Amino acid sequence: MAYVNWVTYEAQIKVVYYGPAYAGKTTSLKYFSLRLETEVKELPTADDRSVFFEYTQSEQFPAKNLQVKFLYWTLPGQQKYRRTRHLVLAATDSVVFVADSQYEAAPRNLEMLNDLEELLSERGVRLEGRQNLALQPIPIVFFYNKRDLPDIMPVQYMDALFGLPSWPAPRFTGEATAGKNIVRAANAAATLALKKLEEKIYGPENQDARPDTE
Ligand SMILES: Nc1nc2c(ncn2[C@@H]2O[C@H](COP(=O)(O)OP(=O)(O)OP(=O)(O)O)[C@@H](O)[C@H]2O)c(=O)[nH]1
Ligand SMILES: [Mg+2]
């Protein structure tokens, strides 16, 4: 649940970029921060070969009575940084799952999705659309990256891989190196998290809306 300071009426929403190593998380975040005209802050690991985490933030903007700031985080996908990922996932409000579209990356994409769900469940959280009503749902947006490469999985093949036909999570295809669809995916994740925050604070916007069938 987003952090809200009721003295200053400020809220923070944390969006985490998750996905296997080399999928393009850092490239996505760097492109997005350029567009936001902010810098990516980095905390290198002790061995200096990878980054412990990176994040950037948007300007605050008013939503209802709150000033909302969005923080975008990413973290290394290699197996050895699992503990780091566990820490960085604390208080996540929304996830952009950056998948590598190359065929050979299919098993690593699935491993990281499982890894994400396991680490979230340890925090009492699940991905929205997944069945486990004991856990708190957070939104997820899929980003199929590296669509410029030749040997990539067709979009429908990837949808089937992740089970998207029965899991209505937003999905974008793109190219982080060229910035294609990066802003759209980031905004979708941020908007879904903001909607959740507003519902928590003000109640469902439209009482007549279709009931949540999760
Ligand atoms: N062709 C192509 N290459 C990409 C794309 N996005 C990222 N890359 C390249 O893929 C490599 C890995 O990208 P990163 O952004 O460092 O990947 P990461 O997900 O942060 O990886 P870890 O931090 O190790 O988990 C880099 O050489 C990028 O330039 C893309 O859309 N197309
Ligand atoms: Mg990275």
Domain coordinates in residue numbering, the chain: 6-202
3-class SS at 153? coil
- Residue 17 burial (C-beta neighbours within 10 Å; 0-12, 13-18, 19+): buried
User: Is residue 214 scored above 50 in pLDDT?
Assistant: no
185-202: average pLDDT: 90
Ligand 1 atom with minimal separation from the 19 CA? 19
Pairing of strands 51-57, 41-44: antiparallel
Ligand 1 site-directed mutation target among 27, 50, 73, 144, most atoms within 8 Å of CB: 27
- How far does the centroid of ligand 1 lie from the alpha carbon of residue 98, in Å? 10
Mean pLDDT of the chain: 87
Query: What CATH architecture applies to the domain 6-202?
Result: 3-Layer(aba) Sandwich (3.40)
Report how far residue 10's alpha carbon sits from residue 23's, in angstroms, rounded to the nearest whole number.
33
Instruction: Please tell me the predicted confidence (pLDDT) of residue 65.
Output: 76
Q: What percent of the chain has pLDDT over 70?
A: 87
Instruction: Please tell me the predicted confidence (pLDDT) of residue 208.
Output: 47
- How far does the centroid of ligand 1 lie from the alpha carbon of residue 81, in Å? 17
Report how far residue 93's alpha carbon sits from residue 186's, in angstroms, rounded to the nearest whole number.
13
Nearest to 196 by CA among 138, 146, 135: 138
Instruction: Please tell me the predicted confidence (pLDDT) of residue 183.
Output: 94
Position with higher pLDDT, 52 vs 211: 52
Which ligand is closest in space to the CA of residue 22?
A: 1
- The response to whether residue 145 sits with its C-beta less than 6 Å from ligand 1 reads yes
Instruction: Please tell me the predicted confidence (pLDDT) of residue 160.
Output: 97
Nearest to 99 by CA among 32, 41, 157: 157
- The response to whether residue 45 sits with its C-beta less than 6 Å from ligand 1 reads no
Largest separation between any pair of C-alpha atoms in the chain: 55
Report how far residue 194's alpha carbon sits from residue 145's, in angstroms, rounded to the nearest whole number.
24
Instruction: Please tell me the predicted confidence (pLDDT) of residue 66.
Output: 80
Instruction: Indicate the pLDDT class of residue 85, thresholds 50, 70 and 90.
Output: confident
Neighbours of 148 (CB within 10 A): 13
Q: What is the pLDDT of residues 16-32, one digit of tens each?
A: 999 999 999 999 998 99
User: Which residues have a beta carbon within 5 Å of ligand 2, which is an ion?
Assistant: 25-26
- The response to whether residue 52 sits with its C-beta less than 6 Å from ligand 1 reads no
Highest mean pLDDT (candidates 65-74, 77-86, 94-103)? 94-103
Instruction: Indicate the pLDDT class of residue 211, thresholds 50, 70 and 90.
Output: very low
Residue with CA nearest ligand 1 atom 8: 24
- How far does the centroid of ligand 2 lie from the alpha carbon of residue 74, in Å? 7
Ligand 1 atom with minimal separation from the 77 CA? 25
Q: Across the strands, what pairs with 100?
A: 145
Report how far residue 190's alpha carbon sits from residue 186's, in angstroms, rounded to the nearest whole number.
6
User: Is residue 213 scored above 50 in pLDDT?
Assistant: no
Position with higher pLDDT, 63 vs 110: 110
